[in-house]
Structure 1
Amino acid sequence: MCALAELFHNSGFNISGSDKDEVFYTDGILKELSIPYYESFAPEHIPQDAVLVIRSAAYSRDSNSEIAEAEKRGIPVLKYTEALGAYSALFDSSGIAGVHGKTTTAAIAGTLIRAAGLPARILAGSAVNGFGGRSTLSLGNKYFVAETCEYRRHFLSFHPRRIVLTSVESDHQDYYPTYESIRNAFIEYTKLLSSNGELIYCADDPGASEVANSVNKGIVKLIPYGVNAKGDFKIVSLQTGEERTTLRIAGFPGELKLRLPGRHIALDAVAALALTDSLVKAEYGGWTGEKREAVRQALEDFRGSRRRQEILGEAGGILFMDDYGHHPTAIRTTLEGLREFYPKRRIVLSFMSHTYTRTAALLDQFAASFKSADQVVLHKIYGSARETSSKEITGWTLFEKTKELQDGVYYIEEPVEAAELLKGILKPGDLFLTMGAGDNWKLGKLLFDYYARDTAK
C-alpha cells in the first residue's frame, strides 16, 4: 500500500490514509513524502473531497468503518490490486511473480533498468537501498515493472506484456489448499500475456517450469533462466568466496558479481537481467558495450532491500541481519547461502512463523529448514488479519518438531523477551539473524542497540 501511495503521489495525486498503530518502516517513507496518515480507522478520516478509496485486501466493508463510510458516500472503492492493475494498463508493463524472490528480483531489476537508462517506473514490495530507501523508482513513463502477488489471485488484475516467474510451490494454504490450486492460479496469470508476450521463468524450479510448459508457445515467447536453462540466460558457472557471488551467463560476456549470499539471490539477479535484456532490446534494439558495463557494475553495487538479508550493522563483533523469509524453502536457501558466504561465523537465528495455516500445512518442512543454523530461537506464530489464532497449531508445536531434528533449539513466546537468553548465547564472530514476516525484527534491533552501546563504552 505504501508503494502504491508513492506512485500515486509521484503522479500528482493528493494522498492520505489510515493504518494500525503498529510501527512499520513504511511510516518513515510516508513522513518523508509528507503523505498524512492516521494510526487508527474512523469514518471521519476520509476527506470530504475524496474521489477514490483504495483498500488493502486485509480489510472489507464488514471489518473496516472507513470502507463502509466510503460506500455509504458513493465513493468508488478499489482493492490495492485493482488499483495497481488499472495503473499498469497505462504502460508497457512487466509483472514479477512467484512464491519466492519477487521483491529481490524487482529491486535488482530496477537497479539494472536504471543503469541501462530505460524510461521506466518500478514498484518493489519493500524499501530498496538503491531507490533512496523507498519502494518505488521513477525513471520515465514508458515501462512499468511491478511485483505482483498470487494471494487470492490478486495478480489477475495486472496487465502484463511480460511476466517473470521465479517459483511455484504450495503456499497460502488458507486459500490454495493444494499445490495444484496455486499452480493453476499462476497458469491463469500467464494466460493474460498477449500475442508476442514473454514469460521469463526459472528453469531450475519445477513449479515454474510446469507452468511454462502449459503456455501456448505459438503466442508467448518463453525465456528460461538458471543452471538448467537453455539459451542466453543459462548459468554456466556460479561460485561463492570472499563475500562475493560470482557467476557467468551464456549470453552475457564476462563475469557478474553480487555482494549478497545465496544461489537463490543469484537466480533472482539473472531473472532481473533477462527482463532488462528484453526491455533494452525493445527500447534500443540491442546492447552497447557501455550499457553492459553499467549494468555489470550496478549489479555488483546492489546492496539489497529492506528485510531481505538486510544488514543492520556489526556491534560487539556480532553481525546483525534481518530477513523476511517465511516459507520453508526461502528459510533453507537463505541459511544455506549465509553458511557458504560466511563460513567462519556461527549462525544464530530468531524465527517467527507467519499464519497458522501455513505453519500447519508445512510443519515438517519448517522444522527441517533450520539445519544450517547453529542455534535457533523460535517464537509464537504471527497471525494475520485473516486468521488470528488456532487451537491445533502454535509456535510451541514447531519448537517440539524442530528440537527432534537438531540441538540448540529454544522457545521464547514473545520475541523481545528472548533478549536475555541471546545475550548468553551470542559471541563475537557470530551472525545473528531475525527471520520471518512478523515483528521479531524488533529483537534484532534491541540487541544491536545493546551491543552498540556496550561497544561505545
Structure 2
Amino acid sequence: MEMREESCYLVGIKGTGMANLALLLMRMGASVRGCDVQETFLTDLSLHRGGIVVDTGFDPAHLSGSATMVIHSSAYHRDLPILQAAKAKHIPLYSYPEFLALLSTKQDSYAVAGTHGKTTTTSVAAHILKEASEGDFPFYALYGSSALNQEDALYQGSECALFEACEYQDHFLSYHLRGVLVTCIEYDHPDYFSDLDAVKASFRRLVDKLEKGGMLIVCSDDREARELLSYARRTRSDLTLLEYGFTAPGPFRILENPDSTFSLSLLPEYSFALSVHAKALVLDHIGAVVLALSVLLDRPKPRLYLQDKGLLSDEVLPSVTSLLMSQLASFPGCRARTEVLAEEGGVVYVDDYAHHPSEILTSLEELRSAYPHSKQLVLFCPHTASRTKAFLSSFASALAQADALIIQSTYASARQDSCAVEDTSALLLEAVQEAIGTSGKPVAYAKDDQACVELAGLWLQERWLCITMGAGNNRPLGPHIAAFRRSLS
C-alpha cells in the first residue's frame, strides 16, 4: 500500500497493535504522529526510537491540518472529541480493525486467528519467513507484540502480508484473507459473545469469507478447531485444508522424542529442539512453520526467496519444511510473553500478558519447566470485569497453581463493558482463597501499586520468580520491587 503522501494521526497510539501499526506506516513512507494517555506503557520506547511524536491526552487541538487520515484504537468510541473533530474536518477516519481490513485488500493477506496463541504464532511465522529468505521475501507482518530483538516494524515489501486477526466484535470478519490459521477456539470476550456457540459461529463465518482457492490451517489438538475443519470440508471444497498437532493425521503430526526434541511425521529422521516447553507453545511454534510453509509455497516463484541450501527439489514439502524448522532455534521470543526482564538478588522478574485462565495455566507451566527449582509469585491484574466474572471459578483454579499471589485492582482500560464500574478483584480474591483451601499459600489483595510493591518485596526470597501478569499495565512494577528489596538489605 502506497503511503508516501499520507500523514497519519493515531489516537490511542500506545496500544501494542496501534504502536506496531504506527511503526509499519513509517516503514511504508507515511508521516506518523499520535496521542494517548500520559501513563508509560511498554510501547513508549519503541515509539520514541521510531521518532514518532506522541501528544498527551485527546485534545482536538492535537489534530493538525496536515493529517490525511486518522486511525483510532477500538478501545475508543467515535464520540471522543478528537475523533469528532476529525469527522467535522472530513478527514478519513478508521478504527484499528477497519484500517487492517483496508490493508488486507492491498495484497494477498494471511492471518492467525484463535482464542489463544495468535501473537506468538504470528511472530514466529514472521521470524522464520524473514530468516529463511535472508530478508528477501517481500512481505510485512502486523500483530499485537514484537519479537524481543525487533526494534522496528517487520516490513520487507508488500507482495503479501501476515496479520494477527482477533475475533472480538467479529473484527476479523472484515478482513480480506487468502488464508488463515486457527490455533484454538474457546469462550472469551463475554461482553460481546453470549456463549461458546456464538464464538464458533463467528469462526464459521470467517471460513465462509476466505478467498476462493485459499487455505485453512487448524490445530487438530483443539476439539473446536477440528470441528471447524469438518465444517470447511462440508462447505468449502475449494480450500486447501491442513492440520497440525500431536494428534494430527498427515505430514504435520508432532512426534516427541526421548531426548526432549521433536520431529514431524513428514521428517521423522529430522529432530529439532525448541526453546519452549509448554504443549500449547510447542503447538504455536509448529503451527507457525505450517503457516510460513503455506504462505511461501503459495507464491508464484517461491525459489526466489529461499537460501541456497533450501532450493526446491523434487521433494518440495520436506525440503522447505526442514529449512523453515531450522530457523525456530533463533526465535528470541515475544515481548510480554513469559518475558524475562531482569534477575536481581536471586529473583527472576518476568512479564506475561496472560489474561484468560487457559493462558495463565500455559504461562505457569512454561515457567515451571524453565525454572523447575523456583517458586512463583504472581502479581495478577484482572482485565475487564465482565471477563473476570464470567470465568471466576476458572481464574481462581488457574491462579491457585502459583506458589503465592497478589491480586491487583481490575485494570481500568478505555474499553468499557457492562461490569466496568465494578472492581471484581474482591470476588476473585475470595474465589482463589477457596480454591487453595488449607494449602497455606499466601494470597492477598493490593489496593494500589505501592502496596503491591511492598508486599511483593517482603514475600520474595532467593530462587523465586516474580511474575507481573495480565493485560493491564503492571509490567513497570518489577524494577520498583527490586529497588524496595534492596532498601531492605
User: What interval of TM-score do these two structures reach, taking the shorter chain for normalisation?
Assistant: over 0.9
1:230 aligns with 2:249: yes
1:395 aligns with 2:425: yes
Q: What SS is found at the alignment partner of 1:191?
A: helix
Gaps of 5+ in 1: none
CA distance in 2, matches of 1:293, 1:181: 39
Name the stretch that deviates more: 321-330 or 399-408.
399-408
CA distance in 1, matches of 2:330, 2:165: 25
CA distance in 2, matches of 1:376, 1:412: 10
Q: How many residues align?
A: 448
CA distance in 1, matches of 2:446, 2:277: 28
CA distance in 2, matches of 1:338, 1:49: 48
CA contact (8 A) 2:293 2:324 kept: no
1:438 aligns with 2:472: yes
Report the Cα offset of residue 297 of structure 1. Answer: 4.1
Change in Cα spacing, 1:214 to 1:416, as seen in structure 2 (3 Å) is farther
TM-score with structure 1 setting the length: 0.92
Report the Cα offset of residue 229 of structure 1. Answer: 1.0
1:314 aligns with 2:324: no
Which residue does the alignment assign to 1:174?
191
Which residue does the alignment assign to 1:85?
101
Q: What SS is found at the alignment partner of 1:149?
A: coil
CA contact (8 A) 1:97 1:164 kept: yes
1:413 aligns with 2:447: yes
Which residue does the alignment assign to 1:384?
413
Alignment of 1:68-107 (within 5 A): 68-107=84-123
Report the Cα offset of residue 442 of structure 1. Answer: 2.3
1:264 aligns with 2:280: yes
CA distance in 2, matches of 1:278, 1:85: 21
Q: What SS is found at the alignment partner of 1:15?
A: strand
Runs of 4+ in 1 over 6 A off after TM superposition: none
What amino acid does structure 2 have at the position aligned with 1:251? L
CA distance in 2, matches of 1:108, 1:35: 26
Report the Cα offset of residue 3 of structure 1. Answer: 1.4
Report the Cα offset of residue 423 of structure 1. Answer: 2.1
Which residue does the alignment assign to 1:120?
139
Q: What SS is found at the alignment partner of 2:209?
A: coil
Alignment of 1:10-409 (within 5 A): 10-62=27-79, 64-117=80-133, 118-130=137-149, 132-134=150-152, 136-215=153-232, 216-237=235-256, 246-252=261-267, 254-283=270-299, 284=301, 289-290=309-310, 295-387=324-416, 390=420, 394-406=424-436, 407-408=440-441, 409=443
Report the Cα offset of residue 295 of structure 1. Answer: 3.3
Aligned-pair identity in percent equals 33
Q: What SS is found at the alignment partner of 1:16?
A: strand
CA distance in 2, matches of 1:92, 1:16: 28
Q: What SS is found at the alignment partner of 1:146?
A: strand
Name the stretch that deviates more: 274-283 or 87-96.
274-283
Which residue does the alignment assign to 2:481?
447
What amino acid does structure 2 have at the position aligned with 1:308? R
What amino acid does structure 2 have at the position aligned with 1:180? D
What amino acid does structure 2 have at the position aligned with 1:440? N
Change in Cα spacing, 1:197 to 1:53, as seen in structure 2 (3 Å) is same
Change in Cα spacing, 1:177 to 1:45, as seen in structure 2 (3 Å) is same
CA distance in 2, matches of 1:194, 1:150: 18
TM-score with structure 2 setting the length: 0.86
Q: What SS is found at the alignment partner of 1:279?
A: helix
What amino acid does structure 2 have at the position aligned with 1:444? G
What amino acid does structure 2 have at the position aligned with 1:228? T
Q: What SS is found at the alignment partner of 1:133?
A: coil
1:45-68 CA distance string (max 9 Å, x none): 112122211111122232x11110
1:418-439 CA distance string (max 9 Å, x none): 2222222211111221110012
What amino acid does structure 2 have at the position aligned with 1:146? F
CA distance in 2, matches of 1:325, 1:104: 12
CA contact (8 A) 2:293 2:321 kept: no
What amino acid does structure 1 have at the position aligned with 2:263? R
CA distance in 2, matches of 1:264, 1:383: 29
Q: What SS is found at the alignment partner of 1:369?
A: helix
Report the Cα offset of residue 356 of structure 1. Answer: 0.5
Change in Cα spacing, 1:401 to 1:3, as seen in structure 2 (3 Å) is same
CA contact (8 A) 1:4 1:84 kept: no
CA distance in 2, matches of 1:170, 1:49: 43
1:81-138 CA distance string (max 9 Å, x none): 11111112112111111111111111111111012213211112113213x234x311
Report the Cα offset of residue 13 of structure 1. Answer: 1.1
Q: What SS is found at the alignment partner of 1:196?
A: coil
Name the stretch that deviates more: 188-197 or 66-75.
188-197
CA distance in 1, matches of 2:484, 2:131: 39
Change in Cα spacing, 1:410 to 1:194, as seen in structure 2 (3 Å) is same
CA contact (8 A) 2:124 2:331 kept: yes
CA contact (8 A) 1:194 1:219 kept: no
What amino acid does structure 1 have at the position aligned with 2:67? A
CA contact (8 A) 1:412 1:418 kept: yes
